């Protein structure tokens, strides 16, 4: 497996690895190292360099910036273990946070309404923390100090900007 080899080339000493079956823009793997450290490795999928939903450039650096921003909001955030580029294949390695996937939690609770509501309460607390973060503009976070486009000071303006971009893309696809 290519991810297994690339991680080992960077010294992670992986003994097992499995790919998550999701991720529109990233190939994501969970790996266990020989010292029983659980890590997550994120690779850019071939040809996926633009976030078509929010019209921002996709990069692993952007992912790392988002982790840092989430940490400043007090959200559970994995520690970044390394950003690597091996054989022109960039990848980001982070620690695996403790806990269960939400789907597994619900399955184990036999889809009880009480467990579901408790999980929504927990999620709501994290969303409230994220909403407390103040940014100078509503745009794509390029770095901890750079957001593009600049000068968009509310979500509605940002949404209108995105709609106009999508309409232009659809128009150009029909006539080229």
Query: Which residue from 58, 25, 55 is spatially nearest to 164, judged by alpha carbons?
Result: 55
> What is the mean predicted confidence (pLDDT) over 45-65?
72
The string of DSSP codes covering 130-160 is HHT---SSSSEEEETTEEES-S--SHHHHHH
Q: Contact 23/92 with Cβ under 8 angstroms? A: no
Tens digits of residue pLDDT in 101-139: 888 999 999 999 999 999 999 999 988 888 787 766 666
Q: Report pLDDT for 67.
A: 86
Q: Which pLDDT belongs to residue 108?
A: 96
Q: What is the pTM of this model?
A: 0.75
Higher pLDDT, 10 or 157: 10
Facing residues of 176 across strands? Answer: none
The pairing of beta strand 89-95 with beta strand 140-143: unpaired
Q: Residue 69's pLDDT is what?
A: 80
Q: Which residue has the higher pLDDT, 170 or 147?
A: 147
* Separation of first and last alpha carbons in the chain: 39
Task: Give dist(CA 80, CA 42) in Å, integer.
Answer: 11
CA distance 77 to 86: 25
The pLDDT value recorded for residue 55 is 61
**Cα 153 from Cα 32, distance rounded (Å):** 43
- The residue assigned the tokens 């294949």 is 89
Per-residue pLDDT at 81 exceeds 60: yes
DSSP secondary structure code for residue 99 in this structure? S
d(CA 133, CA 148): 17
């Amino acid at each position: 497996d290519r991810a297994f080899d690339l991680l080992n080339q960077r010294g992670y000493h992986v003994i097992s690895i499995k790919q998550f079956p999701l991720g529109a823009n990233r190939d994501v793997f969970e790996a266990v190292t020989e010292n029983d450290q659980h890590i997550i490795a994120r690779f850019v999928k071939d040809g996926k360099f633009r976030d078509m939903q929010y019209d921002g450039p996709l990069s692993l650096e952007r992912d790392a910036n988002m982790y840092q921003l989430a940490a400043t909001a007090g959200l559970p955030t994995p520690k970044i273990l390394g950003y690597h580029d091996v054989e022109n294949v960039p990848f980001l390695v982070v620690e695996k946070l403790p806990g269960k996937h939400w789907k597994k939690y619900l399955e184990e609770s036999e889809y009880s309404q009480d467990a579901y509501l408790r999980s929504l309460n927990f999620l709501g607390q994290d969303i409230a923390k994220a909403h407390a973060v103040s940014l100078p503009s509503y745009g794509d976070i390029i770095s901890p100090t750079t957001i593009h486009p600049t000068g968009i000071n509310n979500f509605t303006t940002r949404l209108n900007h995105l709609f106009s971009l999508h309409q232009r893309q659809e128009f150009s696809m029909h006539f080229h």
